Structure 1
Amino acid sequence: MNTLKTSPLPVRLCTLRESHLDKVMEIERRAYCFPWTRTIFRNCLQSGHLALLMKQGRNIIGYGIVNITRKEAHLLNICIAPEQQSHGLGRSLLRTLIKLSCNSGAQCMFLEVRPSNTVAIALYHSEGFNEIDRHRHYYPAQNGYEDALVMGIEFS
């Protein structure tokens, strides 16, 4: 689908399929204290959501899932393997998901993010997202629940 130049091997994007879920689940568990379940991923795939896989050589290093409805895109999950982070891969994946959402007729994208995930928030701000709301007690956390910042961007 798409190839990015990084070292040592180029990174490419392709459609995430159910056959990839073992590796995706492995990354999800390493990246998050409260990971998605296989059932959630499977439901997203069965629902026809835009689901991309990022690979470097034969290695799966990231993924992103977007639900596109009518004129809106909802970024449900975006993740880069922890050892591959801080190299611009998340930014590249986000930009591709935005472009594909826009090409599918979406006029805006929104997402939820933990306030404690300052790296992701900085990325979203740098790509033009703004904070538009807050959902209280949205995410499970070590000591109960954590709010979610709702962020959005309008496509021009």
Structure 2
Amino acid sequence: MSIQALNKTHLDAMMAIEVAANQFPWSYKNMESCFSGRYFNFGFFIADELAGFYIGEVAGPDITLMDICVDHKLQGQGVGAKLMTHLLAQAEAKGAENIFLEVRASNKAAIHLYDKMGFCEMGIRKNYYPTAEGNEDAVLMGLPFNPFAKHM
């Protein structure tokens, strides 16, 4: 098991995990666009197989978790927590002041993980995510990380 930086050669594996785990997955084009300068992408590998990943974005002195996804067969086994721990280490290395994320209000398992990692609810984005019945709210969460850091 290891966490490694991802590149565009991993896109197909990332998309396979994304599509299997989400009713409304990112598009290939959206995921591909996250391999430019302000994004950083890491994957959790078991042997040589991608088991989960995250996409982070540097925005000024802050980091935004754009996407985190774990192979549906491995959810609930600590992969997400390992990826989040790695994200926090990356934020520290980059001198981030805050980390932000949005999560579906119905995704109680993810909200519980983020709570355990120290994130707190900062607001609600009404009708943000599509659903089969219309839309659902996003919970905006944040973690004040390093308020005395120099800007990245």
Compute the TM-score of the two structures, normalised by the length of structure 1.
Answer: 0.90
Q: Considering only aligned residues, what root-mean-square deviation do their CA atoms show, in Å?
A: 1.0
Mark the runs of 5 or more structure 2 residues left unpaired by the alignment: 147-152
Deviations 1:37-77 (A, max 9, x none): 11111111124401001111011100001101221110000
Match in the other structure for 1:142? 132
Q: Which runs of 4+ in 1 moved over 2 A?
A: none
User: Is it true that 1:100 corresponds to 2:90 in the alignment?
Assistant: yes
Is the contact made by 2:54 and 2:83 (CA closer than 8 Å) also made in structure 1?
yes
State how 1:60-99 maps to structure 2 within 5 Å: 60-99=50-89
Q: Taking every aligned residue pair, what percent have the same amino acid on both sides?
A: 33
Looking at both structures, which has the greater relative contact order when contacts are Cα pairs under 8 Å and sequence separation is at least 6?
Answer: 2
**How far is 1:86 from its partner?**
1.3
Aligned residues: 146
Retained in 2: the 8 A contact 1:137–1:147? Answer: yes
- 1:57 aligns with 47
d(CA) in 2 for partners of 1:131 and 1:65? 20
| 1:6 corresponds to | none
Residue segments in structure 1 that go unaligned for 5+ positions in a row: 1-10
AA in 2 matched with 1:75: L
- Structure 2 counterpart SS, 1:128: coil
Aligned to 2:30: 40
Instruction: Give, in whole Å, the separation in 2 of the partners of 1:14 and 1:126.
Output: 24
| 2:19 aligned partner | 29
Q: Take 1:134 and 1:141, find their aligned partners in 2: how far apart are those partners? A: 16
What is the distance in 1 between the residues matched to 2:141 and 2:70?
A: 20
Task: Give the Cα separation in 2 of the matches to 1:16 and 1:60.
Answer: 10
Which amino acid in the other structure matches residue 66 of structure 2? L
- Indicate conservation of the 8 Å contact 2:128/2:137, yes or no: yes
Structure 2: distance between partners of 1:73 and 1:84: 26
SS at match of 2:50: strand
